Amino acid sequence: MDSHSQVGEGAIWDERAGVLWWLDIPAGLLHRFDPASGENTSQEFGEPVGCLALRETGGMVLACKSGFWLYDWDSGRREPLSDPEAHLPENRFNDGTTDARGRFWAGTMKDGGEPEPMGRFYRLDTDFNVTPWKDGIYTTNGQAFSPDGTIMYYSDSNAAVRTVWAADYDLDTGTPHGERVFFDTRSVKGRPDGGTVDADGCYWMAGVSGGQVYRITPDGKLDMTIDVPVERPSKPMFGGPDLKTLYLTSIGAGADLAAQPQAGGLFAITGTGAQGVPQWRFGG
């Protein structure tokens, strides 16, 4: 779909409604794509929105420029929860995901200007309490969990770092530990952007600035490389009735549209032989 998004991101499959939710971060746009009809509808939130999670009780939670919000698509109702970086006006939230116990994880980054390691990861618990975790990150990205929820993946997209890490995850406390390098993207063309996992426990990574998507086995080995028609793919997410379609957002801002006219578009990749897993919902 030729949406020409500035920064297409945040794709998440809604198995209950059979639709894909996704974002254009700087435009503050929330999108709802229905593959059955091909219709994409949009709502403007009014500020940059980095990522979202669907709520178990309906609606969604957003991680935005001004912190965490509850939002209802149908009514437009919105409720602010917490702004953990109100003291850092240059920052905004970027990527995120939900753990197996319904906690929402999201990370921040400096928004524009010269990159600095000002980003940090946060955990939003189901009682809406916010806990900071790891700081000193340039571009928080790539958050995903293994199918059993016991390994957390995360990355830093910055060109000087471009690394994906894995950490053991305590489901009872929501605490990562034993962090280690999972995949160093200097071995491939693209830097790490958004990620997701499949039913075999493999990690799928959008290779931003490399025009590729990668499948990495649980032991950190490159298993598959898919070339895509845009230089900056940004977030993969399995969807469709059988979770076998790999949806992919991309970045259009600053792209040479003569060379890559679909930059900023939403893509659907089939025939990978992989199947995704249902996305956990925020329990708050």
For the chain, which domains are there? Answer: 8-269 (2.120.10.30)
193 is catalytic: yes
Can you give the pLDDT at residue 118?
A: 98
**CA triplet 7, 125, 241: central angle to 5 degrees?**
55
Interacting residues of 87 by C-beta distance below 8 A, sequence separation 6+: none
Q: Annotation-wise, does 9 bind a ligand?
A: yes
Nearest to 152 by CA among 92, 112, 103: 103
Find the DSSP H helices in 21-120. none
Q: Where are the beta strands (DSSP E) in 72-173?
A: 78-82, 91-98, 104-110, 121-124, 130-132, 140-145, 151-156, 163-170
Can you give the pLDDT at residue 1?
A: 80
How big is the chain, counted in residues?
A: 284
Can you give the pLDDT at residue 255?
A: 87
Which listed residue (24, 95, 111, 193) is catalytic?
193
Would you give per-residue pLDDT tens digits along the chain (284 residues)?
878 899 999 999 999 999 999 999 999 999 999 999 999 999 999 999 999 999 999 999 999 999 999 999 999 999 999 999 999 999 999 999 999 999 999 999 999 999 999 999 999 999 999 999 999 999 999 999 999 999 999 999 999 999 999 999 999 999 999 999 999 999 999 999 999 999 999 999 999 999 999 999 999 999 999 999 999 999 999 999 999 999 999 999 998 888 899 999 999 999 999 999 999 999 99
Can you give the pLDDT at residue 160?
A: 97
pTM, full prediction: 0.97
Q: Annotation-wise, does 158 bind a ligand?
A: no
User: How far is 11 from 176, CA to CA, in rounded Å?
Assistant: 24
Can you give the pLDDT at residue 187?
A: 96
Q: Annotation-wise, does 123 bind a ligand?
A: no
CA 274 from centroid of its chain's CA atoms: 19
Instruction: With beta carbons less than 8 A apart as the criterion, state whether 230 and 212 touch.
Output: no
Q: Annotation-wise, does 125 bind a ligand?
A: no
Can you give the pLDDT at residue 2?
A: 78
Q: Annotation-wise, does 141 bind a ligand?
A: yes
